[in-house]
């Protein structure tokens, strides 16, 4: 999937609504809490808030996520621990997912990316977790998920989002900075970043 030749130009814009958050120039549908766009490889991607019905698809994404334990120890390589972790995330107030229109073997639309806002101080501060499946990276999915997560956090009246990222994770740092996150502190390779929402 990652090496598929481009079928159409990067980012086919389907309407010309003004951007609402960080870079939105290749997001086709810019409605609040929703993005739909065509990836550089011609895949139709939808980004939306998750519901409880998405939990089994979320587990399926993390079952095939690789390498395991690569982001601060998650997702776990142990099946039971990993599923318990996903079920815990699914109970958080805001989860955002990306799905691709290509049907999988079971005829379902695969879940290809996920962000969760883990409440740190209710209504004030949440920690951001974001993961895009390794077969679907560099298609603007992470950026679109991040943009929707920020929008939903603003709607929920959070004051700030916070995260820790490895200094080696330059791709993640790039999308965080693109979406308005700023460096707070750095201790060795751990960088703390924050995005004010007010
Ligand atoms: C970080 C992550 C969420 C990004 O998702 P993604 O869908 O690949 O990101 P996007 O396609 O939206 O954007 C990638 C951007 O990074 C840039 N990029 C790609 N590789 C890069 C690299 N090695 N260093 C810096 N920037 C890089 C791309 O050019 C693109 O920039 P642009 O939008 O300005 O053109 C994804 O790589 C991931 O899930 N990684 C593993 C889990 C993880 O590290 N999560 C974050 C934990 S803090």
Ligand 1: residue whose CA is nearest its atom 16:
171
Ligand 1, atom 18, lies closest to the CA of 171
Q: Rounded CA gap, 151 and 34, in Å?
A: 10
Q: How confident is the model at residue 198 (pLDDT cuts 50, 70, 90)?
A: confident
pLDDT at position 54 over 70: yes
Q: Which residue has the tokens 């939990």?
A: 55
Question: Among candidates 15, 3, 6, which has minimal Cα distance to 43?
Answer: 6
The predicted pLDDT at position 30 comes to 59
What's the mean pLDDT in 158-186?
Answer: 97
pLDDT digits (tens, 9 = 90+) for 59-118: 999 999 999 999 999 999 999 999 999 999 999 999 999 999 977 777 778 999 999 999
**Quick one: average pLDDT of 51-66?**
96
Please state the domain extents for the chain: 34-196
Integer Cα distance of 14 and 67 in angstroms: 35
* Most ligand 1 atoms within 8 A of CB, residue of 138, 176, 183 to mutate: 138
**Complete DSSP assignment for 126-161:** EEEEEEE-GGG-SSSHHHHHHHHHHHHHHHTT--EE
For ligand 1, atom 21, which residue shows the shortest CA distance?
171
What pLDDT does residue 44 have?
95
- Pocket lining for ligand 1, CB < 6 angstroms: 71, 130-132, 137-143, 163, 165, 169-172, 174-175, 178
Give the contacts of 89 (CB within 8 A, at least 6 positions apart): 58, 95, 116, 118, 129
Helix (H, G, I), strand (E, B) or coil at 37: strand
Q: How far is the CA of 94 from the centre of ligand 1 (A)?
A: 21
Does the structure show a pLDDT above 80 at 174? Answer: yes
**Higher-pLDDT residue of 72, 11:** 72
* Residue 83: other Cβ atoms inside 10 A: 18
Average pLDDT taken over every residue of the chain:
86
Query: Is the domain defined by 34-196 classed in CATH 3.40.630.30?
Result: yes
Query: Model confidence at 190, in pLDDT bands (50, 70, 90)?
Result: very high
Q: From ligand 1's centre to the CA of 137, what distance in Å?
A: 7
| Alpha carbon of 131 to ligand 1 centroid (Å) | 10
Task: Supply the pLDDT for residue 28.
Answer: 61
Half-sphere exposure of 180 (CA within 13 A, CB side): 15
**CA atoms within 13 A of residue 76's CA, in its CB half-sphere:** 10
- Protein residue with least CA distance to atom 27, ligand 1: 171
Regarding pTM above 0.85, the answer is yes
pLDDT reported for residue 32: 67
Summarize pLDDT for 160-170 with one digit per residue, the tens.
Answer: 999 999 999 99
Atom of ligand 1 nearest to the CA of 169: 44
């Amino acid at each position: 999937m990652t090496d598929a030749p481009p079928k159409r130009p990067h980012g086919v814009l389907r309407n010309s609504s003004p951007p609402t958050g960080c870079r939105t120039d290749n997001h086709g549908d810019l409605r609040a809490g929703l993005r739909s766009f065509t990836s550089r490889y011609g895949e139709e991607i939808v980004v939306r808030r998750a519901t409880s019905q998405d939990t089994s698809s979320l587990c399926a994404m993390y079952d095939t996520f690789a390498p395991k334990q690569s982001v601060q120890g998650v997702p776990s390589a142990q099946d039971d621990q990993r599923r318990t972790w996903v079920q815990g995330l699914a109970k958080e107030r805001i989860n955002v997912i990306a799905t691709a229109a290509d049907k999988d073997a079971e005829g379902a639309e695969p879940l290809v990316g996920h962000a969760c806002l883990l409440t740190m101080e209710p209504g004030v501060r949440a920690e951001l977790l974001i993961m895009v499946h390794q077969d679907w990276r560099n298609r603007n999915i992470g950026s679109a998920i991040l943009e929707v997560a920020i929008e939903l956090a603003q709607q929920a009246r959070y004051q700030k989002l916070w995260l820790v990222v490895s200094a080696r994770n330059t791709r993640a740092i790039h999308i965080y900075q693109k979406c308005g996150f700023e460096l707070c502190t750095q201790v060795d390779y751990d960088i703390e970043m924050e995005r004010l929402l007010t």
